[in-house]
């Protein structure tokens, strides 16, 4: 009865005394070709030909047999490996030029996760996929490197230890105690929370968690946290919790209990910029005489839309609701006539 495994041999090096690093797909294709020849190659001969260690060859063969399902068996009498049945083609990774382009763009987009505990595993996964790609793809990778990038106007400042603790607590459903300071608050306060979800929204990180003192879900900004400490207790995330549903009627991350029909008119100078984006799921655009445009939204809170309108300066006018128009008018007045210190 033949064994399917070759006896392990010590690592080998090339005549130059250094091991060559080759992409896994290239190595496995070389092994496949050797097995298909019917010459019963073993790990030692393959290692010399491919210029890697015998240990690497053993690993590759185990992967080919156990993960790719190839019928590989070691034959002691011939002291080598062979296919036990005909293999017409190596199970290759098929990828289009467009998919490869998207893969490179995804790697560029990793900049927003730089320094977080997501960066290394995401980058590692992308690199593994890149190494497994066939050599016949015609896309000029160097050209893409020079023509695509991601930039952030204001990069959030993250305490990586705190961010890592939040990510782990949310994934493991561990209750935590935060030391948290809200804007304008003199001293931080302790908050006992169940972290439901950590989200990156418009380039900013937010933690959505159940606040035990307030008996409700609250939104926390990691940059405002001074410390995070697990309590040793776990929690069950409610099945009814849905971030999409929670933020459906918000203009950003602030959700409220109101129902507001917001109407804003933009002059011709700003209209094209407004038309270029989908600002909200509920938005409706109406063209105005003179090249302007009217934007209609249905929101549950006015806090974030007020700041957004002010960012347009005199190019935006609030039609309704009245309380939003009054808030914008008052804020603009404070900008022109700040209160005495």
**First vs last C-alpha separation in the chain:** 92
* Cα distances (Å, whole numbers) of residue 247 to 34, 96, 244, 260: 57, 36, 5, 15
* pTM for the model: 0.58
The percentage of residues in the chain with a pLDDT greater than 70, rounded to a whole number, is 73
Which position has the higher pLDDT, 168 or 294? 294
- Output the pLDDT for position 153: 66
- Output the pLDDT for position 279: 94
- Output the pLDDT for position 292: 96
> 240 and 269 in contact (C-beta within 8 Å)?
no
How far is residue 306's CA from residue 36's CA, in Å, rounded to a whole number? 69
Helix (H, G, I), strand (E, B) or coil at 309: helix
Report the pLDDT averaged over residues 63-80. 90
Report the pLDDT averaged over residues 179-185. 90
- Output the pLDDT for position 57: 92
Cα-to-chain-centroid distance, residue 34: 40
For residue 12, pLDDT over 60 is answered with no
Cα-to-chain-centroid distance, residue 182: 27
Strand blocks (E) in 203-335: 204-211, 216-220, 225-234, 260-266, 284-287, 293-299, 316-320
For residue 21, pLDDT over 70 is answered with no
Residue 166 binned pLDDT confidence (cut-offs 50, 70, 90): very high
* DSSP symbols for 151-207: --SSPPP--HHHHHHHHHHHHHTEEEEEEE--TT-SS-EEEEEEEEEEEEETTEEEE
How far is residue 294's CA from residue 261's CA, in Å, rounded to a whole number? 13
Which position has the higher pLDDT, 143 or 246? 246
> 314 and 268 in contact (C-beta within 8 Å)?
no
111-142 as b/e: b if 16+ CB within 10 A: ebbeebbbeeebeeeeeebeeebeeeeeeeee
Residue 102 binned pLDDT confidence (cut-offs 50, 70, 90): low
292-324 as b/e: b if 16+ CB within 10 A: bbbbbbebbbbebbbeebeebeebbbbeebeeb
How far is residue 69's CA from residue 316's CA, in Å, rounded to a whole number? 63
- Quick: pLDDT tens for 121-163: 666 766 666 666 555 454 454 555 566 666 666 666 778 889 8
Report the pLDDT averaged over residues 94-121. 63
The closest alpha carbon to 213, from 261, 177, 188, belongs to: 177
Alpha helices by DSSP H, listed for the chain, are 24-36, 43-50, 54-66, 97-109, 119-131, 141-147, 160-172, 243-246, 268-275, 303-310, 322-336
> 233 and 172 in contact (C-beta within 8 Å)?
no
* Cα distances (Å, whole numbers) of residue 139 to 14, 98, 101, 129, 145: 33, 9, 8, 16, 11
> 25 and 133 in contact (C-beta within 8 Å)?
yes
For residue 280, pLDDT over 70 is answered with yes
Residue partners of 325: CB distance under 8 A and separation at least 6: 318, 319
Residue 106 binned pLDDT confidence (cut-offs 50, 70, 90): low
The closest alpha carbon to 247, from 191, 189, 304, 288, belongs to: 304
């Amino acid at each position: 009865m033949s064994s399917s495994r070759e006896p392990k041999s010590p690592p080998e090096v090339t005549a130059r005394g250094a091991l060559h690093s080759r992409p896994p797909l290239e190595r496995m294709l070389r092994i496949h070709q050797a097995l298909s020849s019917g010459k019963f190659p073993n790990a030692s001969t393959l290692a010399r030909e491919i210029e890697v260690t015998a240990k690497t060859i053993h690993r590759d063969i185990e992967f080919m047999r156990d993960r790719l399902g190839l019928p590989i068996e070691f034959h002691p009498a011939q002291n080598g490996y062979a296919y036990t049945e005909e293999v017409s083609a190596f199970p290759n990774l098929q990828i289009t030029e467009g998919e490869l382009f998207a893969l490179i763009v995804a790697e560029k987009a990793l900049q927003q996760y730089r320094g977080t505990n997501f960066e290394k595993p995401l980058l590692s996964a992308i690199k593994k996929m890149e190494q497994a790609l066939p050599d016949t793809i015609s896309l000029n990778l160097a050209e893409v490197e020079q023509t695509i990038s991601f930039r952030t106007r204001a990069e959030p400042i993250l305490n990586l230890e705190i961010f890592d603790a939040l990510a782990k607590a949310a994934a493991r459903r561990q209750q935590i105690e935060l030391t948290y300071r809200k804007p304008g608050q003199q001293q931080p306060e302790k908050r006992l929370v169940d972290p439901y979800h950590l989200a990156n929204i418009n380039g900013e990180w937010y933690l959505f968690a159940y606040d035990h003192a307030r008996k409700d879900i609250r939104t926390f900004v990691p940059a405002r946290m001074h410390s995070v400490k697990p309590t040793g207790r776990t929690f069950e995330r409610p099945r009814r919790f849905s971030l999409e549903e929670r933020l459906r009627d918000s203009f950003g991350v602030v959700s409220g209990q109101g129902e507001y029909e917001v109407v804003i008119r933009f002059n011709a100078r700003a209209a094209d910029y407004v038309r270029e984006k989908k600002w909200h799921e509920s938005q409706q655009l109406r063209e105005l005489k003179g090249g302007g445009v009217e934007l209609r939204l249905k929101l549950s809170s006015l806090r974030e839309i007020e700041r957004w309108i002010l960012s347009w300066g005199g190019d935006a006018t609030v039609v309704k609701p009245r309380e939003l128009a009054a808030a914008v008018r008052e804020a603009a007045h404070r900008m022109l006539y700040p209160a005495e210190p």
